[in-house]
Structure 1
Amino acid sequence: MYPPQPWDLRGQLYLSVFAVPRSALPALPGPLAAAVRPVPFGRRALVGAAWVRYEPGGVLHYRELLAAVLVHERLRPRVSITDIWVDSVESRDGGRELWGIPKDLADLSLRTAPGGDLVAAASIGPEPGARQAPIGSASFRAGPRLPGRWPTPMSVAQALGGAVVRTPVRGRAGLRLGSGTWRVEAGGPLGYLAGRRPLLTVALTDFRLRFGATAPAAATWP
């Protein structure tokens, strides 16, 4: 069983931004494709790929790999998650049922060195005990830390039950510049990122965020 929304979460996030030909992007589900369009970056679109470690202190703690496209809905910026894996059944089920986020399970490894460098890898298998198929791996070298705590507002748009669900995300994080090297399996689910170099890599350190909206209170009679 998963917690009700909103989810208050904390942890570390390592993000790389790629420019990908729009023709190579994964297709969005029907209702979402009718509502949003990728934000154009020349003839390309911007895809963010991130490794996340959600740590104790939030409602759930687990690891995650995701890819999301920057889109707009009548010029309003949104983020749409196209591929995502977690190592928590609660996170998978909650993400799918609350917000339409297409989470699947995977084996995820995130190892952080004392200086902040990260080595990460993800793989999936069709059946328990079967040979694991790699999704990809990455390494991040930590760079300078920017002063202060930075706001991280966004709106996530997903398809759920034939409709579009728009989920607010609010939080703050430390911000650290860096560099990332990705090794993505060309024949895997993130194959559209294989061989591409990120335009930008940053780490959101010690983030705290609230994912989702508080349900309105039920009306009461005097």
Structure 2
Amino acid sequence: MLLRFAAALCFVALLALGWAVHAGWVVVPPRFNPWARLDISEPPNWLTRIKLGRAQREPAQCLALIGEAGMRFEPVPDRVTGEGCALENAVRLQGTNGAPLNAPVLLSCRVALPLALWERHVLQPAALQHLGTRITRIDHLGGYACRNVVTGRAPSEGGGRRSRHATADALDLAAFSRADRGRAVSLRRDWAEAPQGPSQASTPEAEFLRAIHQGACGLFEGVLGPDYNAVHADHFHLEVGGWRSCR
């Protein structure tokens, strides 16, 4: 009985503290304030998903944030493009100033925003750590596409639902060019270079790819890579809005 009372008291105290922070009666650094606006320059922490989710639901704030992140883009008008397909708060993204895309791509701001965080706080630090250089170009295989999920199976065996690509909420990434002009890091070639047993050595490229894959899982709802199935042998699939998955 005493333990229940103590737990209830702690819960009430936490609620009171949360309300005090929300009302501005207690001041905490924005980094540790769940109601503070997302700061692109701050490394992600345990509150980032809360702030990111709120920004993704607020179209004007989302566009403002990807602009602050240095993303180069043009807004695209909202429109229905087919059965189960639509563009809503979408942009034609060219990439960042430091890492342009190989070609402009149609994406919702909902996926462009975590992409901006990932490029700054995951991709570039991992490149410096494992490759000793920065990434200067990101090659993609597509964003928006009015189509169903591609499973590699016949429609009668499943996979008939719309892909997150159909609402521009997904992006497929295939390769990364280096500032030192070394060989570009390719998912198809370099992912398989990771060790398959304790006696095998890994390559820097494979370690880099695994680091950015794991880092993406903290910012996107869905992350699929070469270990998921043969369809994804040559790219990372990054999506928002679906079931949480890190494969």
Whether TM-score is above 0.5 comes out as no
The structure that has the greater radius of gyration is 2
Higher helix share: 2
Higher strand share: 1
Higher relative contact order (CA 8 A, sep 6+): 1
Provide TM-score, normalisation by structure 1: 0.24
